[in-house]
Amino acid sequence: MNEQSSGQAASAVRSAAVTVDVPAKINPHLGVGDARADGYHALSTVYQSISLYDTITVERREEPGIELSVSGEGAGILPTCDENLAARAAKLMAIYGGVEPAVRLHLNKRIPVAGGLAGGSADAAAALVACSRLWGIEIGDAELHRLAAGLGSDVPFCLKGGTAVGSGRGEELRHVDSLGTWHWVVATTDMQISTPECFKEVDRLREDGIGRFSSDVEPIVQAFEAGVGAEELAHLLVNDMEAAAVSLRPQLASLMHGGLAEGALAAHVSGSGPTVLFLASDMKHSVALARRLRMRGGARSIHLARGPVPGPAA
Ligand code: C5P
């Protein structure tokens, strides 16, 4: 291949617009250890992607700068300036690739905002993937992981998707080959819980002797690898942040009890909340459970989701 044709090949890789779908994450196991010297908490977690997606579209623009627009759920409350994690991800990728950041990002949000489903981290992961494709930047897995970890603890997993064990502050990942599909009803609420506030509440409760670090992820990892039924999985769900979330927003407890009364196999706070996940036995059960939860009221919105699903780079 001569220089001219290799140049043509390189420009052919750069597209005018790229669209990437990215799933939300849940933590079927979320073990929280002590606060570290850097302020982060040691985590021993299992992440799983579920079928609630945001879509990011990136396209070139003539003028330099990053422009961001948002549509869909929570569009009005998300920052559209440089504070937005997706815009920061685009800027990081431009710096890494040595290209001028002249790009328009559009986020179509279907992942409930500020719910403990890592919507912001998912958007950042998708922005890294989409911008590298738009600008034809060759980047290896290790470098992509490093950029993602710099944006947030959940961003590396959001790049990968599927099922993975997370350690460190959540950014060190080990892939898990999960054999089954599990069905969830996702109930969002109007209560707001900030992630740092919830971690502080975990620390406070621990000082009072409440709660301990659930560091052993192996039982649930083996269950995912074996493809156990939902009834078995229901007994293995762990969230060390759940007591803290309920302590901060006691109304969460009545939502959780309501779902169990309607037949959910388990009620599980998603991450630091306030979204609650209800485990169903299969898809048919999840549809019926969602209908009953909508009639019961008490949630802001009810969604159906299955997991695991592949991540944005798949
Ligand atoms: O990593 P990320 O920016 O998403 O974290 C948001 C906040 O959540 C951190 O500033 C920290 O207060 C808290 N956090 C923590 N331990 C972790 C992850 C997050 O204390 N492992």
Number of Cβ within a 10 Å radius of residue 130: 28
Distance 236 CA to ligand 1 centre (A): 24
pLDDT band at 314 (very low <50, low <70, confident <90, very high): low
Distance 174 CA to ligand 1 centre (A): 20
Instruction: Tell me the per-residue pLDDT of 58-95, one tens digit each, with 9 for 90 and over.
Output: 999 989 999 999 999 878 788 777 789 999 999 999 99
Atom of ligand 1 nearest to the CA of 170: 21
> Quick check: pTM over 0.85?
yes
Q: Is the dihedral of CA 211, 213, 215, 221 positive or negative?
A: positive
Which pLDDT belongs to residue 14? Answer: 59
Q: What does the pLDDT average to over 137-165? A: 97
Q: Does domain 17-176 have CATH number 3.30.230.10?
A: yes
Q: What does the pLDDT average to over 278-295? A: 98
Concatenated DSSP letters of 26-86: EEEEEEEEEE-TTSPEEEEEEEEEEEEEEEEEEEE-SSSEEEEEEEETTGGGS--STTSHH
pLDDT over 50 at 53, yes or no: yes
Q: Which of 54, 154, 160, 240 is catalytic?
A: 154
**Cα distances (Å, whole numbers) of residue 201 to 32, 117, 198, 256:** 12, 19, 5, 20
Ligand 1 binding residues, C-beta < 6 A: 39-41, 43, 152-154, 169-170, 195-196, 199
Q: Whose CA is nearest to atom 3 of ligand 1?
A: 152
* Interstrand relation of 182-188 and 276-280 (parallel, antiparallel or unpaired): antiparallel
Q: Whose CA is nearest to atom 12 of ligand 1?
A: 196
Domain 182-307, architecture per CATH: 2-Layer Sandwich (3.30)
User: Which of helix, strand or coil describes residue 266?
Assistant: strand
Instruction: Tell me the per-residue pLDDT of 251-286, one tens digit each, with 9 for 90 and over.
Output: 999 999 999 999 999 999 999 999 999 999 999 999
Question: Do 266 and 234 contact (CB within 8 A), yes or no?
Answer: yes
pLDDT over 60 at 249, yes or no: yes
Active site annotation includes 154:
yes
Q: What does the pLDDT average to over 23-35? A: 97
The residue extents of the domains of the chain are: 17-176, 182-307
